[in-house]
Amino acid sequence: MKLTFLGATGEVTGSCFLVESAGARFIVDCGMFQGGREADAKNRAEFAFDPRALDFVLLTHAHIDHSGLLPRLCTRGFHGKIYTTAATIDLLEVMLLDSAHIQEKELGWRQRARSRSAHRRDTDSHAAPLYSVAQAQACLGHMHAVAYDTEIQPQPGVRCRFRDAGHILGAAIIETWIEEQGRSSKIVFSGDIGHAGKPIVREVTPIEEADVVLIESTYGDRLHKGIDETLIELETALNETLGRRQGNVIVPAFAVGRTQDLLYLLCDLYRRKRLPPLTIYVDSPMALKATEITLKHAELLDAETRAMFDWLRQQRDRPQINFVHDVEASIALAEIKSGAVIISASGMCNAGRVKRHLANNLGRSECAVLFTGFQAIGTLGRSIVDGARSVRIYGEDVPVRATIHTIGGLSAHADQAELLGWLRHFRAPPRQTYVVHGEAAAATTFCTAIQRDLGWPAKVPQAHASVEV
């Protein structure tokens, strides 16, 4: 049996792993690469396998860096089933269509920019979207729902089980057993493992045995701040900006997962009288739909979140949460000069409505920008976090005068100690552990930690490397 690493190697995006055995050929995840021109070229490249030859696909969760190329896979001839959880399917109905819509809108913006340029080119190899809204919609027809903790057999000789990853709604660790020549090998794909104690979702499920483990390492080189310290930092940033400086707070946030976490935490801080009355604008139609999906799957939520929803339903004195639907209302938020908390996607600031709010507020010293999630290399968010004095948005240079806060304790990803803690549940060391889904430094550091602290064999695979299992 052969395992090939086609993405998320030395980087945190483009998750995709190909498994080939005597009786089956499938991939786990089919994620979009994110962050600059190099990522765009990777997304547009032909797949390193024939999509028509795949028997099925396993999907860990809905985030675009794990799911974003599924419509492209289908347009290239894949005709099988995509197995994932029911909550993930609900989220994909929003996220894949939104991804296609953003691509089409960005194409229109680029075409208008080129038409105004004195150096207009007659051709543009990056003109077409990766896929259309219609193609994203067609991809949804391949989805097949799988319940947590239930074993399935997508192909003779292959068994799978999805376990709660504690990352976002519907996210899963996938256990796979592959029969070949009378022998069975078990591969565990961690997907993205959740940060302990985060709101909304339940804690990660421990796994006890495997022959091979692929484990993420997004924060494999660091420890998160404790939740109490994180809440103090969030509280201080909001009180300082909304109170003393009389500015706005802009929060770039992933529409799925992070936005719902933030709403919970802001309401909880207000309930405990640690924040003044709040006016919150959630400027993301996808975030509204994701919040509705979260409520639909109440059985997947932790007890604290269910209690918070009960409190909000009963209280008249609560934060004012406004979901912004249409573009005109989003544009009108530019008229608000103080007192607003604007939560908007995308989380890495590379697309979506948050770019408009950054353009309107980054240059104002009374305002603040709160980053609550990982910013990949090459993204607008990463440039701001790394201290850029100005950034380019919609073709214009925007000075960075706002206060920048990076609140890492809100991450949906486990830190190094939590990742090692999850691995310690294995009763015996796997024959091999592959460290994926982390930038090169983080992956290498975490690989060393596994070898040092656990005494396990571990490797950081190279892009497109293949190994025999």
What 3-state class would DSSP assign to 274? coil
Q: What domains appear along the chain, each with residue ranges and CATH number? A: 2-222+412-468 (3.60.15.10), 227-410 (3.40.50.10890)
Residue among 132, 362, 354 nearest 254 (CA): 354
Indicate the helix (H) or strand (E) that contains 312.
helix 303-314
The pair phi, psi for residue 88, each rounded to 5°, is -65, -40
Pairing of strands 249-252, 56-58: unpaired
Angle, helices 416-423 vs 440-449, to 10°: value is 50
Helix then strand then coil, % of the chain, to nearest 5: 35, 20, 40
Check if the beta carbon of residue 175 is closer than 8 Å to that of residue 83: no
Residue among 51, 52, 61, 81 at smallest CA distance from 153: 81
Structure confidence at residue 123 (pLDDT): 46
Distance separating alpha carbons of residues 316 and 456, to the nearest angstrom: 55
| Tens-place pLDDT, residues 400-456 | 999 999 987 888 899 999 999 999 999 999 999 999 999 999 999 999 999 999 999
Q: Output the pTM of the full model.
A: 0.88
Q: What is the pLDDT of residue 122?
A: 45
Query: From first to last of its 469 residues, what are the pLDDT tens digits of the chain?
Result: 999 999 999 999 999 999 999 999 999 999 999 877 789 999 999 999 999 999 999 999 999 999 999 999 999 999 999 999 999 999 999 999 989 988 887 776 666 666 666 555 544 545 689 999 999 999 999 999 999 999 999 999 999 999 999 999 999 999 999 999 889 999 999 999 999 988 899 999 999 999 999 999 999 999 998 888 999 999 999 999 999 999 999 999 988 888 999 999 999 999 999 999 999 999 988 899 999 999 999 999 999 999 998 898 888 889 999 999 899 999 999 999 999 999 998 889 988 899 999 999 999 999 999 998 888 888 999 999 999 999 999 999 999 999 999 987 888 899 999 999 999 999 999 999 999 999 999 999 999 999 999 999 999 999 999 999 8
Task: Please state, in angstroms and rounded to a whole number, the distance separating the CA atoms of residues 56 and 176.
Answer: 13
CB 213 within 8 A of CB 423: yes
Residues shown for the chain:
469
CA separation for the pair 373, 234 (Å, rounded): 13
**φ/ψ of residue 291, rounded to 5:** -65, -40
- Residues 176 and 117: beta-carbon distance below 8 Å: no
pLDDT at 101: 86
Alpha helices in 387-439 (DSSP H): 416-423
403 bridge partner residues: 368
**For residue 177, what are the β-bridge partners?**
159, 186
Residue 17 CA to residue 315 CA, distance in Å, equals: 47
- 65 with 95: CB under 8 angstroms? no
Q: The tokens 């499920």 sit on which residue?
A: 205
Task: Give φ, ψ of 101 to 5 degrees.
Answer: -65, -45
pLDDT for the residue numbered 373: 82
Burial class (CB in 10 A: 0-12, 13-18, 19+), 393: middle
Q: 151: buried, middle or exposed (CB in 10 Å: 19+, 13-18, 0-12)? A: exposed
Q: Which amino acid is at 33?
A: F
Q: Cβ distance 4 to 161 under 8 Å?
A: no
Q: What does the alpha-carbon distance between residue 126 and residue 284 come to, in Å, rounded to a whole number? A: 26
Vertex 118 angle, CA 112 and 123, to 5°? 60
